[in-house]
Amino acid sequence: MSEHSNGSADVVPAAGAQGGLEQQFPDPGLPAHVHRRTDIDTAAARRAERTVARLFLLSIAGTALFVVAWFLFPVNGKLSNVATSRLLMGIGLGLALFCIGIGAVYWAKKLMPDVEVVEDRHPIASTPEEREGALAVLREGGEATGFGRRKMIWASLSGALGALALPAIIPLKDLWIRDPQAKQPAALLSTTMWTGGTRIVKDPTLEPVKATDIELGAVVHVLPEGIDKVEDPLDEKAKSAVLLIRLEPSEVGPAPKGQEDWSYNGIYAYSKICTHMGCPVALYEQQTHNLLCPCHQSTFDVTQHCKVVFGPAARPLPQLAITVDADGYLVAKQGFTEPVGPSFWERG
């Protein structure tokens, strides 16, 4: 083994490297070839041949099943046909393919020569002469271009190739900013449709919500009114979705400073967008008053103003200040006072 090395191994005074009859068991060489039944018994070989042929014929049957299923089960609005067609076509195709495969492998194993062949390996690396030759070619080529002498050419070419990076990069700018008036990402991530007086409407019916319609313990999924009129409703929904929850005021802990009057009559409004990775916090456990995000199990306690009680979210769900308008419909008192959703560098 050692004579075939291109380098040394300084941690390897191994049995293999030391060699010697005393030190290592000798390689007895390839074992003698043992004939298979099909090599010596022509009847067995013929049986194997028939098995292979049978498998290939079975493959044709599979293909036939595929074709027949294609014609017998048109997909004309019947879902049961879709299911049957998929099942039969799949089984037909699977059979057709698998039988060709297993037939070919069986053929190779039983009937093709099974004598192992030895091929020599040669060191991967080139000989020193070859290496020297390659280097000489490189050197000559380098000299022919005048790499060392013609500095002006090389400097200007480097400059030209470097400048080509600009046409490669600049058009990428328009991946987003086609509109020169566009706001910075941080500004867009920090604002939502909600402002003072925005009416609260139900998701997905978009009906306004009367404060008196919300029963104790109920959770209502809501959106800002007019969300269906904006240019990209989904972009806005990804920020503006809100949950209304009506709680027994005695169950709720003291409000953070300055947020004492953000709820109305025991109705609290919290952003539905998880502060961890932006999934909608859609599961509400009535018993524990916990909101749970199904994506990564961040758990928010609504009786503690959506403080994180478990999971990877780092911040409570932002609260939306609400009140009612003259007709008794719930409206936002003001927009969110902090960005909703997942964190980003400039969030503050």
Partner 1 sequence: MSTAARAAGTVGTWADERLGIGKVAKKGLRKVFPDHWSFMLGEISLYSFIILLLSGTFLTFWYKPSTVEVLYNGSYVPLRGLQLSQAYVSTLELSFDVRGGLLMRQIHHWAALIFVAAMTVHMLRVFFTGAFRKPREINWVIGSILVLLGIIEGFAGYSLPDDLLSGTGLRIAEAIIQAIPVVGSWLAFFVFGGAFPGQDFIPRLYTIHVLLLPGIFLALITVHLILVVYHKHTQYPGPGRTNRNVVGYPLMPVYIAKAGGFFFMVFGVIALISAIATINPIWMYGAYTPTQVTAGSQPDWYMGFLDGAVRTMPNWESRFWGITIPWNILTPAVIMPGIITTLMILYPWIEAWITGDRREHHVLDRPRNAPTRTGLGVMALTFYGVLWANGGNDVIAETFHLSINAITWTARIALFVAPPIAFVITKRICLALQRRDREKVLHGRETGIVMRTPDGEFYEVHEPVSPAEAYVLTQHDTYRPLALEADVDENGVPNPKSRSQKFRARLTNFYFGDAIEPPTPREVRELEAAHSGGEH
Shortest spacing between CB 33 and partner 1, in angstroms:
12
Q: Which is nearer to partner 1, 60 or 75 (CB)?
A: 75
Shortest spacing between CB 251 and partner 1, in angstroms:
22
Q: Which is nearer to partner 1, 146 or 294 (CB)?
A: 294
Chain centre distance of CA 107 = 42
333: which residues sit within 8 A by CB, 6+ positions away?
A: 196, 262, 321, 322, 323
The dihedral built from the CA positions of residue 162, 164, 165 and 170, taken in this order, carries a sign that is positive
The answer to whether the beta carbons of residues 239 and 341 sit under 8 Å apart is: yes
- Residue from 126, 188, 259, 328 that binds partner 1 (CB under 8 A)? 188
Structure letter (DSSP) for residue 264: B
The answer to whether the beta carbons of residues 107 and 38 sit under 8 Å apart is: no
CA distance 268 to 214: 11
The reply on whether position 40 binds partner 1 by CB under 8 A is no
Residue with tokens 């925005």, as numbered in its chain: 198
- For 76, counting Cβ atoms within 10 Å of its Cβ (0-12 exposed, 13-18 middle, 19+ buried), the class is exposed
The answer to whether the beta carbons of residues 211 and 276 sit under 8 Å apart is: no
- Residue from 107, 154, 284, 329 that binds partner 1 (CB under 8 A)? 107
Shortest spacing between CB 148 and partner 1, in angstroms:
32
CA distance 88 to 302: 52
Q: Which of residues 205-244 bind partner 1 (CB under 8 A)?
A: 221, 223, 232, 234-235, 237-239, 241
Q: Which is nearer to partner 1, 266 or 312 (CB)?
A: 312
Q: Which of residues 86-105 bind partner 1 (CB under 8 A)?
A: 86-91, 93-105
99: which residues sit within 8 A by CB, 6+ positions away?
A: 55, 56, 58, 59, 62
Q: Which is nearer to partner 1, 76 or 250 (CB)?
A: 76
Shortest spacing between CB 291 and partner 1, in angstroms:
12
The answer to whether the beta carbons of residues 73 and 88 sit under 8 Å apart is: yes
Q: Read out DSSP for 280-313?
A: B--EEETTTTEEE-TTT--EEEGGGTSEEEESS-
Q: Which of residues 112-131 bind partner 1 (CB under 8 A)?
A: 112-114, 116-121, 123-124
Q: Which of residues 264-293 bind partner 1 (CB under 8 A)?
A: 272-273, 276-280, 282-283
Q: Which of residues 166-185 bind partner 1 (CB under 8 A)?
A: 172, 175-176, 182, 184-185
Shortest spacing between CB 287 and partner 1, in angstroms:
14
Q: Which is nearer to partner 1, 110 or 324 (CB)?
A: 110
Tell me the site size for partner 1, rule CB under 8 A. 117
CA distance 6 to 17: 13
Q: Which is nearer to partner 1, 10 or 327 (CB)?
A: 10
- Residue from 290, 298, 319, 323 that binds partner 1 (CB under 8 A)? 298
Q: Which stretch binds partner 1 (CB under 8 A): 136-144, 148-156, 193-201, 311-319?
A: 311-319
CA distance 172 to 323: 45
The reply on whether position 21 binds partner 1 by CB under 8 A is yes
Shortest spacing between CB 25 and partner 1, in angstroms:
5
The reply on whether position 302 binds partner 1 by CB under 8 A is no
Shortest spacing between CB 276 and partner 1, in angstroms:
7
